[in-house]
C-alpha cells in the first residue's frame, strides 16, 4: 500500500488516500484503467498493419517505431514473435531492393536483432561510401598536398639553390637579377614598338592568370586547377567537350 501511494499520480493519490486495504486499492485502479486496453489495441493493430520498412529514411527510425508498436500490443495481451518481426521487415522492403531482400532471406536469420544489426552495418557503410564519392567524383584528380607545394616553391627562395653557388645571390636569383637588368635596358630603348610589345606580353599573362583563377578548367570544366595541370581522365574530358557543343542541355 505504501509503494502504490508513493508511486501513484498526484491526482489519484488524493482520490484514494482514504483506502487502507491494498487489495481494494488495486481493484479500484484496475476497474478504472482496464478499459484502456480496449482503446489502445485497435490503434496498435492498425499501426502494425500500416508499418512499412520502406517508409523510413534510416534503420534506427524504423526500429524505434516497430518496438513502440510491439510494446503496446504486448501490453494488450497480443503475442509478437521474432518470426513475425522478420517477416514484417522482409515484406515491407522497397520494390527496388527485391534482390537485397532475397539475399537477407537466404541468410537465414533466426532473431530479429541479428537482422537489424546487419541492416545498421550496411547503412553505415553506404553512408561512408556516398561521402567518399561526393568528396571527389569519379575521374577527378586529387588535390596537391600542401607540403609538396611548399617544398616546390621553397627551393626557389632564399638559402641553398640547385644552381651553381650558394646563398641569396645564386641560382634563380641571379637569373632574376639578369632578367631585371635586361628589362631595364630594354625599357631604356627608345624604340616605342619594343616597349609596347613587352607591355602587351605582360598584360596578356596577367589576364590569363586572372581568368584561370576565377574560372574553371577549360579542359574538363572542374574547379581547383588550370588547363595545363589537368589530370582528368580522357573519357570524362570527351564527354564534357561533347556537352559544350550541345545546346539547351545542362552540363
What pLDDT does 237 receive?
83
Report yes or no: 232 and 219 within 8 Å, Cβ to Cβ: yes
Q: pLDDT digit of tens for each residue in the chain (251 aa)?
A: 777 767 888 878 778 878 888 888 888 888 888 888 888 899 999 999 999 999 998 999 999 999 999 999 998 889 999 999 999 999 999 888 888 888 888 888 999 999 999 899 988 888 888 888 778 766 666 666 555 555 555 555 454 445 444 545 445 544 444 544 455 444 444 556 666 666 666 665 655 555 545 467 878 878 777 777 788 888 888 888 888 877 555 55
Number of H helices, E strands in the chain: 12, 0
Cα of 31 vs its chain's centroid, Å: 53
H-run or E-run covering 2:
helix 2-7
What pLDDT does 152 receive?
52
What pLDDT does 184 receive?
47
- What are the cell numbers at 12? 489519484
Label residue 153 left, alpha or beta by phi (over 0 means left) and psi (-120 to 50 means alpha): alpha
pTM over 0.85, yes/no: no
Q: For residue 227, give the 3-state DSSP assignment.
A: coil
What pLDDT does 14 receive?
79
What pLDDT does 51 receive?
93
Cβ-proximal residues to 109 (8 Å cutoff; 6+ apart), any chain: 86, 115, 118
Q: CA angle, 92 as apex, 91 and 97 as ends, to 5°?
A: 90
Amino acid at each position: 500500500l505504501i509503494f502504490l501511494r508513493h508511486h501513484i499520480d498526484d491526482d489519484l493519490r488524493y482520490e484514494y488516500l482514504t483506502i487502507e486495504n491494498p487489495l481494494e486499492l488495486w481493484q479500484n485502479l484496475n476497474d478504472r484503467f482496464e478499459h484502456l486496453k480496449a482503446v489502445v489495441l485497435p490503434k496498435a493493430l492498425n499501426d502494425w498493419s500500416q508499418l512499412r520498412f520502406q517508409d523510413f529514411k534510416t534503420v534506427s527510425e524504423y526500429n524505434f517505431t516497430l518496438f513502440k508498436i510491439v510494446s503496446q500490443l504486448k501490453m494488450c495481451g497480443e503475442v509478437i514473435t521474432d518470426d513475425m518481426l522478420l517477416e514484417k521487415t522482409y515484406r515491407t522492403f522497397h520494390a527496388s531492393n527485391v534482390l537485397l531482400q532475397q539475399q537477407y532471406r537466404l541468410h537465414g536469420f533466426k532473431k530479429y536483432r541479428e537482422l537489424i544489426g546487419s541492416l545498421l552495418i550496411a547503412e553505415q557503410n553506404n553512408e561512408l561510401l556516398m561521402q567518399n564519392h561526393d568528396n571527389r567524383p569519379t575521374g577527378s584528380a586529387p588535390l596537391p598536398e600542401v607540403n609538396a607545394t611548399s617544398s616546390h616553391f621553397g627551393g626557389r627562395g632564399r638559402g641553398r639553390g640547385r644552381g651553381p653557388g650558394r646563398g641569396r645571390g645564386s641560382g634563380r636569383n641571379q637569373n632574376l637579377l639578369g632578367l631585371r637588368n635586361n628589362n631595364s635596358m630594354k625599357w631604356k630603348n627608345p624604340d616605342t614598338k619594343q616597349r609596347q610589345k613587352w607591355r602587351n606580353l605582360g598584360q596578356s599573362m596577367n589576364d590569363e592568370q586572372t581568368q584561370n583563377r576565377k574560372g574553371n578548367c577549360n579542359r574538363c570544366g572542374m574547379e581547383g586547377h588550370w588547363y595545363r595541370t589537368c589530370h582528368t581522365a580522357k573519357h570524362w574530358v570527351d564527354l564534357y567537350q561533347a556537352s559544350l557543343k550541345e545546346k539547351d542541355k545542362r552540363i
